Amino acid sequence: MLVQAYNLMAHAFLLFLFFSYIIPANIHGCKQTESNSLLSFASTLSSPHLNWTSIDCCRWKGITCDQDGWVTRLLLPSKGLKGGISPSSLANLTHLTHLNLSHNLLFGSLETQFFLSSNRLEILDLSYNRLSGELPLSLPSSNIRTVDLSSNHFFGAIPSSFFQQASNLTNFNVCHNRFTGYVPSSICLQSSPSVRLLDFSSNVFSGNLALGLGKCSKLQVFRVGHNNLSGLFPEDIYYATKLEEIALPFNSLHGAISDKIVNLTNLAILDLSFNHFGGELPPNLGKLSKLKFVTFDFNNLEGDLPPSLMNCTNLVELRLGSNNLEGDISMLDFSRLTQLTKIDLRVNNFTGTLPVSLYSCRSLKAIRLSWNHLEGQIQAKILSLKSLSFLSLGANRFTNLTEAMKILMSCKSLHTLSLSGSYKGEGMPSNDDMVDFDGFQNLRVLTLADSNLNGQIPLWLSKLKNLEMLLLDYNQITGPIPSWLGTLPRLFYINLSNNRISGEFPKQLCRLPRLLYEPNITSQANQYEFELPIYVRRVNQPTIQSFSTQKLYFFPATINLSKNNIVGDIPTDIGQLQLLQFLGLDSNNFSGVIPNHISNLKNLEGLYLSMNHLSGIIPSSLASLNFLKEFNASYNNLEGPIPTGTQLQSFNASAFEGNPKLCGAPLPNKCGPNKGIDADKKNNKDMHNGLHQLPWFYIFTALGFIVGFWGVCGSLIINKTWRYAYFQFIDNLQGKVYVMVTVCINTMKKRLRG
């Protein structure tokens, strides 16, 4: 009996142990109301199926409960969730502390109800969805620490009461939305003194940055770039001494950068680019010894570079382009900036020579000093910069191009070399100069434009097997286009316009490998990114007014031979260059007919044939070039009807004028009854027999140039952002027309200031 009793007790005890283990697990189980709320949330999603089928909702994917079976976390980032978010069902999850639904496809708005009841919420991440609407009046609770609503479609002002209860808020990110009104810079005054990160960038906030940030004693990151802010830099920001990053680019802020900035000793990133900041740089800037990234491009800063800057030994990028800075930079000692990888001082008034001390910044990958008043020669010491990949020295007064090229060809990592407009009137480094040439092994972009260089296109260029872009326009180059140009395996952008090139269009150029086939995606040919941004305006896309790009493949495949003395036919082989996007043959001495084969160039967006001696009809197949946005065949000897269809009729009459025998829309003269047929016959005969029409005598006019000039200037004046586009593209790569740009900029500056 006793043994049995013991047995029983032991069993009971075991059972007790067993249940004490099991029962709490049951208690852990999800509450029915929570389960309902979750299912109601899931029911509003159209996809994908969440597999929330088991009984215990606490075990569902993405769900965490507390001991009492309340749902505390709902974490479903990047799950491809689609559908309208249902704040009312989420509002019933009253114990929620973490909600992360980022990187989905949710839409709908945040209703006040949700925020009212979620007063335990600590982390709210709804970033990267399609949520919209205005923000509720107030954040839910004093527990909230992180709010990330970035990359949605929210709009309206941030209500002044929004942060009232959020006393523990540390991270607030609303970048990439459409918020308007004032930036709530008083956030730390009453409500959220613990804020560390504030990101308001890429919205439409406007007005001044009000005082208040100075009270954010813990603020580390402040971003408000890409908005519509005006006024001065708020004076009290210099009290927020924990700041590590200030990024305000693309606004209209003005005023000087106060020397009080030295108070922000933790500052590592300072981006004030694309504003109207003026005055001199703070003389004690160099006391900010942690500075790594300094970006002041496109402001009105003036005066010398403060020598103390050379004490910022942690500097990684120094970008001060497009200001009014001046002074002899060869007097500065850059040698202690051992971390410096990028220096960009383009478009300023710096004088002196290329600072020798720069050659000891061994980390340098990119140097851009274009559009200054620098002089002297490049020294062989530059070869100690083993990582140098991007060198742009254009539009200065450097001399001895041959010597420069002889040195630089040994620069093994060089990808982009832009010397346009720096070596005015010198000779193109010839083959004799470059004996035993075995250099520029990695060169992808070479610009030697706008320099009045004389001589021929030298043979050593044929060894640049990685060359993708070659700009030699606005020189005095004579001789023919060498046929080997068509063998360079990666070349896709050639600009030889405005030279004195003679001879015929070499057939071999019609076999440029990069323009024949779709690029092989696995090959690396398309991958190059410039180390510094290039600002351009894409001519054929008026809607995209300007952009900055670091990707070489963003440039359209182009052959520009305009304004030379090239004679003979346009080869029929041209039809092989299927990937060509822009073809400029205007203002040459081309004769013969427009080959039908041009209609094989299905990617063609711009075709310029004006001011030649072309005859015969315009092939009707041209009307099938769907991407053609720009076309000009004016001032030739073309005849017959302009092929009908939507394409060619969409251009102005000016694209056809100066061809007296051409008829039909958009020209005002109507075609006679038989003209078309005659012309067609004639053209076919030409094509098959290869007969040449006699060159039609025409008067060379500067019309094209003048029209182009005012076209550009006009747009520059009208649209501020285009200034950057032209300004930069020119300095970076092109050179283009000095006069044009200088005049444009000056006119525009006057207009802006006046």
Ligand X SMILES: *[C@@H]1O[C@H](CO)[C@@H](O)[C@H](O)[C@H]1NC(C)=O
Beta carbon nearer to ligand X, 582 or 696: 582
**Site for ligand X, rule CB under 6 A:** 36-37, 40, 48-49, 51, 77-78, 88-89, 92, 100, 102, 123, 125, 142-143, 146, 148, 167-168, 204, 206, 228, 230, 238-239, 241, 260, 263, 286, 307-308, 311, 324, 347-349, 400, 403, 449, 473-474, 495, 497-498, 520, 522-523, 558, 560, 562-563, 582, 584, 606, 608, 708, 734, 736
Beta carbon of residue 263, minimum distance to ligand X (angstroms, whole number): 4
- Tell me the one-letter amino acid at 552: L
Closest residue by Cα to residue 563 from 539, 597, 583, 586: 586
CB-based contacts of 231, cutoff 8 Å, min separation 6: 207, 208, 209, 253, 254, 255
In whole angstroms, give the CA distance from residue 195 to residue 221: 9
In whole angstroms, give the CA distance from residue 686 to residue 615: 10
Beta carbon of residue 577, minimum distance to ligand X (angstroms, whole number): 13
Q: Is 427 exposed, middle or buried (0-12, 13-18, 19+ CB in 10 A)?
A: middle
In whole angstroms, give the CA distance from residue 162 to residue 197: 16
Beta carbon of residue 440, minimum distance to ligand X (angstroms, whole number): 19
Beta carbon nearer to ligand X, 325 or 358: 325
Collapsing DSSP states into helix, strand and coil, what is residue 687? helix
Beta carbon nearer to ligand X, 100 or 389: 100
Beta carbon of residue 535, minimum distance to ligand X (angstroms, whole number): 13
Could you tell me how far CA 24 lies from the centroid of its own chain? 58
Beta carbon nearer to ligand X, 144 or 687: 144
Beta carbon nearer to ligand X, 92 or 370: 92
Beta carbon of residue 668, minimum distance to ligand X (angstroms, whole number): 26
Evaluate whether 80 touches 104 at the Cβ level (below 8 Å): yes
Evaluate whether 164 touches 193 at the Cβ level (below 8 Å): no
Beta carbon of residue 565, minimum distance to ligand X (angstroms, whole number): 14
Beta carbon nearer to ligand X, 423 or 460: 423
Beta carbon of residue 443, minimum distance to ligand X (angstroms, whole number): 19
Residue 345 φ/ψ, nearest 5 degrees: -115, 20
CB-based contacts of 549, cutoff 8 Å, min separation 6: 530, 533, 534, 536, 555
Beta carbon nearer to ligand X, 295 or 348: 348
- Residue nearest ligand X, Cβ-based: 584
Collapsing DSSP states into helix, strand and coil, what is residue 7? helix
Beta carbon nearer to ligand X, 354 or 663: 354
**End-to-end CA gap in the chain:** 112
Instruction: Identify the DSSP state of 377.
Output: -
In whole angstroms, give the CA distance from residue 442 to residue 423: 23
Q: Per DSSP, which regions of 490-584 are E strands?
A: 493-495, 529-536, 547-551, 558-560, 567-568, 582-584
Beta carbon nearer to ligand X, 565 or 644: 565
Beta carbon of residue 273, minimum distance to ligand X (angstroms, whole number): 16
Sign, CA dihedral 577-578-580-584, equals positive
Evaluate whether 562 touches 588 at the Cβ level (below 8 Å): yes
Beta carbon nearer to ligand X, 202 or 683: 202
Beta carbon of residue 123, minimum distance to ligand X (angstroms, whole number): 5
What pairs with residue 63 in β-bridges? 74
Evaluate whether 540 touches 517 at the Cβ level (below 8 Å): no
Residue with tokens 């593209």: 729
Beta carbon nearer to ligand X, 319 or 365: 319
